[in-house]
Each structure stands twice: as structure tokens, then as C-alpha cells.
Structure 1
Amino acid sequence: MFESLATSVFDSAEDFWTWFGDKPLKIILILVIGMATIAVLRHVVTALTERIAIGQKPRAVVERAADPVGTTTGSAPGATPVAGRKRRKNMLMTPQALADVLVASNPRVAERRAQRARTVGSVLNSTANIVIGTLMVMSILQVLGLNPAGLIAGAGVVGVALGFGAQSLVKDFISGVFLLIEDQFGVGDNVDLGAGVIGTVEAMGLRLTQVRAFDGTLWYVRNGEILRAGNRTQEWSRAVASVQVPLGTDVDAVRAALGRAVDRVKNDPELADSLLETPSVRGVDAVDQGGLTFTMHAQVRPAQQWAVARSLRVAGHSELLHAGIVARSAPVTFDESPAGDTPGVS
């Protein structure tokens, strides 16, 4: 009796392991290997992109790249022709050395490289998830004895619907590739994608772009639906502050007061790193029933136009009051220019 019971248990255990070692074990291995691969790829991509984004060459390396013949300029008069050939060879800068010189001479290059690196990292992570996830699903279906292509082809109406959906998906992917190649915008840029989608790009994928609005709304925009894109923080920006004074005001007096205002902003140590040019005052830009419109402007670093524009408005208001051009009982009116400030963004 005990022998028959033991034999039955043994046979049951053997049947279980035979069953488990066939399809369930293969499915578990596919899931484990796939998830581990995704985790490793995401870690590697994130580490590499962050290293590119924030990594800088030592100053000595940049200086050597900027003056590649510095070690040979002091050669003795009797130097051999071989040394001369080496000197001429060193004068050819490698692409990496040239990039280091550009970064050292123009900080905007480093900022844009960091944005582009993070954008590429975001797209690569998204691509890895899609590709490996698709391979995992296909492999599991094959283990179960199902033909994915046959299932889609035999689904009839469902297959047609999937075909239309795939067409839209391909459109989004192709648009995402061109957005990345053409560098229209990247992670960290402040953009206007139309239809009220205005904010900072938080993530970019081949299918979706995530934009965070100032009020905290996170917009998910399909890349294939982006018909136009306005980038407010690419390479450089311009701070624009328009001020309106009453009709009949002395134009020269206003320009003098606003000139003192832009000088205050130029000498502000907190804004010294934001300015790429000296702020200036244009002439009368508009005349209407409200009064005369003057504009102060300055080229600034990316994403600094709003802070500089606010400072220009405050300084302009103060100087106009101090000069008596505007009475305190009738405060000056500021116009919101489309190319100017976005309230609350800094």
C-alpha cells in the first residue's frame, strides 16, 4: 500500500515538473530575462546620457585641445623633420577636442548638449521598453503554441482596426524620429505645441511628448499630432518688456528714464549671468488711445527671459515714477506682448 502511494506521489511530482518545465518555466524565464534586460538597458542608457549631459573635460584637457601645438612651439632650432611632422599632425583637432573647445568658449553649447543627451536618453528608454516588450509578448505566444501573425490575420474586423491603429502608431514613431533628428526641442525646453499646450518638456518618446504646464498640468501629446512647435528656450531668448505712457508725454524724457532703468538691470549682479547683451530701449512702437508704447529688450540665456523682463518692468516703473512722467495716482499700464513674459515662469 505504502509502495503504491509513494509511486503515485512520485509519478504526480514527475508529471508536475514535466508540465512545469515545459511552458510555465519558459514563460517565467522569458519574463525574468526580458525585465532584467529592460532594467539593465535603462540603467546603462541613463548613466551614459547623464554622463554626457553633466560630464566635462578637465580644464587642462580643454586648454590642450584649444592649443594642440603648445608643447612643440618651444622646440629647439635643430629639431628633426620628424618633430615638425608631429607638430603639423597635432594641429589637426579631433572632433571631440573641437567639441571641448566649443563648450569652453560658449556655455550655451554645453546646455544644449545636455538637453539633447537627456532627450536621446528618454527616447532610447522608451524604444527599449517597446522593442523588448514586443519580443516578450511574441515569445510567450509562440511558447503557448499561438501564431501572432495568424491571430491578427484571422481576427477579421479586429485585424482591420489594428491595422488602422498601427498606421497611426507608425505616424507617431516617424514624427518622433524627425523631432529628435531635427532637434526641434528637447527635455527642459519651454515649448508651445499649439491647442493650448504650453509648458516645459519633461520627457520625449517615439510616440508621446510630455509637457508640464505652469499650473502643473501634464500634457501628453502624440508626436504625429504636432503640426507646429514653438521653442522658447533654444540657444538664446529675448526678454521683452513693453510699457505704455499717456499721450503727450515727452518722448526724450521717457527714453532717458527707461535708459536709466535698463542700466539698473544691466548692473544687477543677480542678472549678470543671464544677459547676453546690454539691454536697450526702442523708440515709440505704437500710438493708440491708451498712449505711447515703448519697449525694453535684451538677448538673454535660454529660459531667463521672464525673470529679466520682470526686472525691466520693475525698473522702468520705478524710473518713470521718479522722473514724474507718471503720477502715483495714475500708475503706468504694461502691455503683455506675445513675445514677452509668461507670468510666473522663471
Structure 2
Amino acid sequence: MFESLAASVFDSAEDFWSWFGDKPLKIILILVIGMVAIYVMRRVVTSLTERIAIGQKPRTVVQKAPDPVDTTTGGVPSTAPAKGKWRRKNMLMSPQALADALGAANPRVAERRAQRARTVGSVLNSTANIVISTIMALTILQILEVPVTGLLTGAGVVGVAVGFGAQSLVKDFLSGILLLVEDQFGVGDVVDLGGGVVGTVEAMGLRLTQVRAFDGTLWYVRNGEILRAGNSTQEWSRAVASVQVPLGTDVDVVRAALGRAVDRVKNDPEVADSLLETPSVRGVDAVDALGLTFTLHAQVRPAQQWLVARSLRAAAHAALLDAGVVLASSTVPYDESVQDQTGSA
């Protein structure tokens, strides 16, 4: 009787392991492998995006302390580095170090890079989760001998129906991804998105972009509806100031006065850091019944064109008054497309 009971238990255990090793074990292995793959992909993508967002920290170079006594200098401690300790590559700045330096000089660059990297990383994580989960589900269904072909056909029909109904939403998401990847504009940029939407970008998402206008209006723009985007603060800007004087004014006198005005702006410590080139006078740009129009311009740092343009106008006004030139009573019309979005006109 004991032998028959042992044989029955052995047969039951063998049947269990035979059953367990057929489908349940395969399903468990697929789930474990899939979860590990998702975890690894998320860690890799998150690590890369955070490294790009935060930036590579420059390595600190620790110099070896000089010898307390240097016999070659008569017992005076030497502070010169030993020969062969420094290589030429240490004097070169890597691309990452250059990006960190630019980010330190302009905080908006670092903020823009961080937002773009984290958003793209979120999209990659979601895509990896969907792809791996779909492969896991299809593999498990095949193991359970469920007809996958019929499910795929039905899912395809449903997907087409949903796609037609939500095509504008899909268009917004795809456009948002392209806006971030191509770096057309970012948070803090002054943009013109068409349709009267001109202002400072306050937030960017995959579906919507929020733009704060000069009068305080917050515009919500769908990314799929952005057909053109004018960025006034990317990489560099140009300050343009127009000055009008009466007809019959001596052009040489005006140019000399405006030359002194640009020199004054160039030497102004409050403006000098914003300049990328020396301001210049382009000359007479227009002649009409109101007078002669002269243009002063300079290449400046992003978002500094309004500050420099105001300084150029003020300096030109003072210089022309000192030269005895009377300014025309009518000024050049103000261009709303280049209005100051930083808080003052």
C-alpha cells in the first residue's frame, strides 16, 4: 500500500511538473524577461536623458603639490608643473564642456535642453513600454493557442476607426515631438506662431504650447496647428533702431553724430555685455515727405535686442541734439512684430 501511495504521489508530481513546464513556466519566463527588458530600457533612457538634461560635470583636475624644496631654484619651492604632466588635450574644451559653459552663461539654454531631453525621454520610455508589452502579450497568446490573427485583424479595424476619429490628436503629438527634436523654439523664447500669437513661450508639451502675450494673454496653441514659427531669440538677435531727421539736413553731420552715439552705446557697461559686434550706422534707408530715415543696428545676444535698441535710440537722440539737428516731428511707425516681450515696449 505504501508503494502504491508513493507511486501515485510520484505520478502526480511528474504530471504537475510536466504541465507546469509546458505553458505556465513559459509564460512566467516571458513575463520576467519582458519586465527586465522594460526596466533596463527605462534605466538606460532615463540615464541618458538626465545626463543630457543636467549636463556633464567638468572633472576637477587635482595638481600634485610641489616639492617643499627645489634644489634647482636655490631652495625656493617650485610652483611650475612637472614636465609631461600636462597634455594638449587638457587645454581643449570638449563639446559637452562647451555646452555646459554656454548653459552656465545663459540659464535658458540649460532649461531648454533639459525640457527637450526629458520630454523626448518620456516619449521613448512610453514607446518602449508599449512595444515590449505588445510583444509579451502576443507571445503569451500564442502559447495559450489563442488565434492571434483574428485579434490582430479586429485590432487593426478598431485602430483605423480610432485613428480617423483622433487624427488631429495624433497630429498634435507628432508635431510636438518634431518641435522638440528639431529645437525650433523652447521655454523663454519670444516667438510668432501666426494668427496673432506673439509672445514668450511659457510651457511646451507634446500636444500644446503655451505662449504669454505682451498684454498678459496666455495662448494655448495646438502643436498640429503651428504652420510656421518665428523665433526672435534663438542663438542671436539683431537690435535695429530707426531715427528720422527733417529733409535738408546735412547727411554727413547726421552720420557723424550717430557714429558718436554708437560709440557711446558700445562703451556703456550696462549694454556692452549684450553686444556681439560693434553697433554701426547703415545710412539713409528711406526718404519721404517726413524726412530722412537712418538705421542703427548691432548683432546682440538672444532677447537683448530690445534693450540695445532702446539704448541706441536714446544715444542717437542725445547726439543729434548736441549736433544741433532737430529730429523730425513724426517718428517711424512701431513694428508690433518685434515688440519687447520682456516687459517693456
Give the TM-score band, short-chain normalised: 0.5 to 0.7
CA distance in 2, matches of 1:123, 1:209: 15
Confirm or deny: 8 A CA contact 1:309 1:341 kept in the other structure: no
Matches within 5 A, 1:189-204: 189-204=189-204
SS of aligned partner of 1:210: strand
Q: Deviations over 1:131-189 (max 9, x none)?
A: 99xxxxxxxxxxxxxxxxx9xx9xxxx99985434111111111111111111111111
Aligned to 1:333: 331
Is 2:280–2:297's contact at 8 Å kept on the other side of the alignment?
Answer: yes
Partner of 2:96: 99
1:191-236 Cα shifts (integer Å, max 9, x gaps): 1000011111111111111111111111111111000000001011
For the 8 Å contact 2:53–2:118, the answer to whether it is kept is no
Is the CA contact (8 Å cut-off) linking 2:245 and 2:291 kept in structure 1? yes
Deviation, structure 1 residue 345: 4.0
Q: 2:114 maps to which residue?
A: 117
TM-score, normalised with respect to structure 1: 0.62
Gaps of 5+ in 2: 1-42, 64-79, 130-150
Map residues 129-148 of structure 1 onto 2, 5 A cutoff: none
Aligned residues between the structures: 265
Structure 1 residue 257: Cα displacement? 0.9
Letter in 1 for 2:289: Q
Q: Corresponding residue for 2:54?
A: 52
Distance 1:197 1:300, change over 3 A: same
SS in 2 for 1:299: strand
Alignment of structure 1 residues 252-267 onto 2, 5 Å: 252-267=252-267
Is there any run of 5+ residues in structure 1 with no aligned partner, and where? 1-40, 64-70, 76-82, 133-149
Structure with the greater alpha carbon radius of gyration: 2
Match of residue 283 from structure 1: 283
Kept in 2, the 8 Å contact 1:200–1:212? The answer is yes
Q: Deviations over 1:117-139 (max 9, x none)?
A: 2344456679989999xxxxxxx
Alignment of 1:29-44 (within 5 A): none
Contact 1:236 1:299 in 2 (8 A): yes
1:33 is matched with none
Structure 2 counterpart of 1:189, one-letter code: D
Contact 1:49 1:118 in 2 (8 A): no
Cα RMSD between the aligned structures? 4.4
Contact 2:120-2:181 at 8 Å conserved across structures: no
> Aligned letter for 1:74?
K
**Structure 1 CA distance for aligned equivalents of residues 208 and 241 of structure 2:** 34
Distance 2:274 2:283 in 1: 24
1:289-335, CA deviations, whole angstroms, 9 ceiling, x for partnerless residues?
221111011111100101111111111111112211116xx646244
* 1:160-309 alignment runs, 5 A limit: 163-309=163-309
SS in 2 for 1:239: strand
- SS of the aligned residue for 2:114 comes to helix
Q: How far 1:98 sits from its partner (Å)? A: 2.9
